[in-house]
Structure 1
Amino acid sequence: MLVSAAVCPSPPLLVPAVAAGAAPELEGARAACADALGVLAAARPDRLIVVGPVGEDGTREYSRGAVGSFRGFGVDTSVVLGSQPEGTERLPVSLAVGAWLLERVRWTSAPVSGLGVGERLDAERCVRAGREIAAGPERVALLVMGDGSACRTVKAPGYLDERAAGFDTAAARALAAADVAALKVLDAELAYVLKAAGRAPWQVLAGAAEDAGLGGELFYEDAPYGVGYLVAAWS
């Protein structure tokens, strides 16, 4: 069963070494992520699953000990999902950022694994994946990685789209209220057009939280660089 969830953005810029001189601009987001992870720890889960978007279709599980790297962003920094490196499994960027957040708060509250979710995976399959996560007797927590739209300004990665602010507002309201139904009906096609990579992971959360009776709190909402970043916790 799901006992808690934290929702965090997944830009590599959260990692100060990647952001370099721009690192102070996201310090508020980093602090909010740490607060959300504190909510997870307080729930005393048996297991933590980091859920994040990946470019491929479908879903893919990542084991504890999988390694992520930010070398593609010019930084010789590596992270490990939950323990010492094991094997040769490589984390996608979104899960690597999640692993970095966990390392930053020195997470030791529960064993960690990962789940990559295809950005174009339809809502029904996302919800089904969440239900499967919550179906067992274990007390499970989720760290849900993913950004809102990337079309909030003309300088945003996806340029300006007038629909972007409304999409992000709807997502923020749903996350703040732990509104499972509202997350389920987020438009997958519109999210893809707006480059909102968090849509699929958020809908996995919706499936996992269907019968959990959790309440929500929004810790951070902003659009630096024209990209919607949201931090929330459900408990």
Structure 2
Amino acid sequence: MAVGADRSGPRVLGPDSAGTFAGFGVDVPVTLGGTAPADPDFPLPALVTGLLREQAGARSASVHLLAPDTPAQECRRLGESLAEEATGLLVLADGTNCSDERSPYPPDQRAGQLDEQIRTALADVDTDRLQALDPELCAELGVEGRAALQVLPGVVAASGGTWRGELLYSATPYGVTYHVATWTRQL
């Protein structure tokens, strides 16, 4: 199961969905598990989920898409409901897209602080820090996946227990910041 943000949300894409990376310059078809024809307008979070599903050898996946402007409390409620049905959750989000001269948008001095807030929250399983992400600031600085990140506090709250985070990657190649982390519930 995956969660991401896309302007087409809210909606759920099931295992019978498929798409292609052709809109990004390479016609690489992916599926969430079925044999449906590739949708040329398949949302990026679903494309990445399909690619990772295939690489991992998973039979199927579903993707919950939120609108980028989904309120934080609604994101948290989705996380609480997903915690009951998911054995694993892939959260697809991004950092800022305006941090330096290589960025697709003019650099903004606030980007570094926002990326640090996200980086620290992911490394430390700091759900309060994620819940505190400002939707307006995130929109201004290109953090389209803010809503997906704010699903995590609900997952943790509903699952209980102690969690451990590991930041695997955090960098700004090509002017867009990406963070990769794993969160594991300790038994």
Give the root-mean-square deviation of aligned CA atoms: 1.8
Query: Structure 1-normalised TM-score?
Result: 0.72
Contact kept? 1:156, 1:227, Cα under 8 Å: yes
Q: Aligned match of 1:228 in 153, 177, 180?
A: 177
Q: Name the counterpart of 2:64.
A: 115
Deviation per CA, 1:207-230, whole angstroms, max 9, x where unpaired?
112143321110000000111100
Match of 2:7 in 1: 55
Return 5+ residue gaps in structure 2 as ranges: none
Q: 2:18 touches 2:31 (CA, 8 Å); kept in 1?
A: yes
Partner of 2:30: 79
Say which SS state the counterpart of residue 232 (structure 1) adopts. Answer: strand
What one-letter code is carried by the residue in structure 2 that aligns with 1:67? A
Any conservation in 1 of the 2:19–2:37 contact (CA below 8 Å)? no
Alpha-carbon distance in 2 for matches of 1:73, 1:223: 20
d(CA) in 2 for partners of 1:107, 1:132: 22
Distance in 2, Cα, partners of 1:155 & 1:96: 25
Identity rate, percent = 36
Q: Which residue type is aligned with residue 69 of structure 1?
A: T
Q: Which has the higher contact order (CA 8 A, sep 6+)?
A: 1
Counterpart residue identity of residue 147, structure 1: D
The Cα shift of 1:74 comes to 2.4
Does the 8 Å contact 1:142/1:205 carry over to 2?
no
List aligned pairs for 1:183-202, cutoff 5 A. Answer: 183-202=130-149
Aligned to 2:19: 68
- TM normalised by structure 2 equals 0.89
Secondary structure in structure 2 of the residue aligned to 1:209 = helix
CA contact (8 A) 1:95 1:145 kept: no
Count of aligned pairs between the two proteins: 181
For residue 55 of structure 1, report the CA deviation from its aligned partner.
1.5
CA contact (8 A) 1:62 1:91 kept: no
Q: Does 1:169 align with 2:116?
A: yes
Larger deviation, residues 164-173 vs 205-214: 205-214
The offset of 1:87, in angstroms, is: 7.2
Q: Amino acid of the residue matched to residue 115 of structure 1?
A: H
**Can you give the 5+ residue segments of structure 1 that lack an aligned partner in the other structure?**
1-48
SS in structure 2 at match of 1:210: helix
Question: Once structures 1 and 2 are overlaid, which stretch shifts more, 203-212 or 86-95?
Answer: 86-95
Q: Secondary structure at the match of 1:141?
A: coil
> What secondary structure, in the 3-state scheme, does the structure 2 residue paired with 1:115 have?
strand
- Looking at structure 1, the residues matched to 115 and 68 of structure 2 have their Cα atoms a distance apart, in angstroms, of 16
Q: Report SS of the residue matched to 2:150.
A: helix
